[in-house]
Amino acid sequence: MIVDLKKWLRGTWQINREIRDLEHQVVGHFEGLLTFTDDEFNNLAAHEEGETTFGAHHGLATSNLIYHFPSLSVAKVLFHDRRYFHDLDLRLGFWKVEHHCGSDRYVGRFTVQSERRLDIDWSIKGPNKKLEIKTVLMRILDKSC
């Protein structure tokens, strides 16, 4: 489905995210923007910014990742400090990843719904957490063209 992953991701996406803490029965939401821009190393810098509501907390939240492209169709997703997070390959329209952080296990599923929509689901389990995070990314079309 997605052959040129870098080209497909580049730009701005609207984020709508639901966060469920199954351990404590708390539901939260995040709404904001995710912007993919070229950096000086020929990667895409992913900057996420928006408003989070989770239990009694409400405030601004940000996140930064780096997408490095060893090939046209595959990205190595890195944390902002360049530690490896996971690979991403959407040629088939679907990708599943697993990441371990200490005793926590993160399982992610990426599903291309259309040229303008990407769904991302994370299941996070560990000794002190049990979370489900569902994200819908919708591309914001550039109206200047």
Cβ within 8 Å of residue 134, ≥6 positions away: 17, 18, 20, 119, 120, 121
Nearest one of 119, 125, 91, 89 to 107, comparing CA atoms: 125
Domain 5-139 belongs to what architecture? Answer: Beta Barrel (2.40)
Q: How far is CA 51 from CA 31, 43, 100, in A?
A: 6, 26, 27
pLDDT tens string 62-77: 999 999 999 999 999 9
pLDDT tens string 5-41: 999 999 999 999 999 999 999 999 999 999 999 999 9
**Contact predicate 110/94, CB 8 Å:** yes
Burial class (CB in 10 A: 0-12, 13-18, 19+), 139: middle
H or E segment to which residue 5 belongs: helix 5-9
**Contact predicate 3/91, CB 8 Å:** yes
pLDDT tens string 37-49: 999 999 999 999 9
| pLDDT score for 144 | 58
pTM score, whole prediction? 0.95
Q: Is the pLDDT of residue 145 over 80?
A: no
